[in-house]
Amino acid sequence: MIFDVDGALVDTNPAHVEAWRRAFLKMGHQVPTSRIVLEIGKGGDLLVPSVLGEQAEEREGEALRKRQKEEFLAIARKERFRLFPGAREIFPALRERGVLTALATSSNDKHLEATLASAGVDLRRLADKVVTKTEDQTSKPAPDLIVAAVEELQLPAASCAMVGDTVYDGAACQKAGVTFFGVLSGGTPESALREAGARIVFADVAAMLEQLDRTLETAVLDAAAQP
């Protein structure tokens, strides 16, 4: 079972939106938060051209991404990010059932560490594997990050499932051949997650934990249905 971090385990999506808003503003672009919210779940390599266009990406993309990272770290130092209910407990519950786990985040190591420090829990110690985005990977909705997590787990893609909170997670899972379970904790509507391929949509990981055996049965059936 592969877990996204932002919006699925830790309540950081608002902080990412605010960091992008500040970054855009400091580079001379007034972008409303409502526009940025639509892009959360993508990496900055895809977010900037989607919001500002390809020409702005060529001129300012790297600088904007650097500024956003700085703003996010500043927010993480000042705020205490909320750990979603069930985020800590889901890992030992899966281990008891013989299920390997991985964290898969589009953040780099520094930002993941800042996120977990702010939340007050090091989820890296609970998961079997941790995968962060590398420079050569394309961000979600490309499947690169999910494929890397599957490879780390040393399992067939059909034997893996992912828990995520955005339609971009769903798109990446479909391309990687991994079952997608959606959670509403990141703010994406249930209808959108289902359209993105979510087999089951939960309020949060605590709700998933309550129905864990049913969830795993669904994943097993999906694996068996693969050619």
Domain spanning 13-78, CATH architecture: Orthogonal Bundle (1.10)
Percentage with pLDDT > 70 across the chain: 100
End-to-end Cα distance, the chain: 20
Q: What pTM, to 2 d.p., does this model score?
A: 0.93
Q: Report residue 139's pLDDT band, with 50, 70 and 90 as the boundaries.
A: confident
pLDDT score for 76: 97
| Segment 115-130 mean pLDDT | 97
pLDDT score for 155: 95
Residue 225 has pLDDT above 90, yes or no: no
Q: Report residue 138's pLDDT band, with 50, 70 and 90 as the boundaries.
A: confident
CA neighbor of 178 nearest in space, from 194, 160, 163: 160
Average pLDDT of the chain to the nearest whole number: 95
* Phi and psi torsions of 198, nearest 5°: -65, 125
CATH number assigned to the domain with residue range 2-12+82-225, chosen from the 4 options 3.40.50.1000, 3.40.50.150, 3.30.365.10, 3.20.10.10: 3.40.50.1000
CATH 3.40.50.1000 domain span(s) along the chain:
2-12+82-225
| Rounded CA separation 129/8 (Å) | 17
CATH 1.10.150 domain span(s) along the chain:
13-78
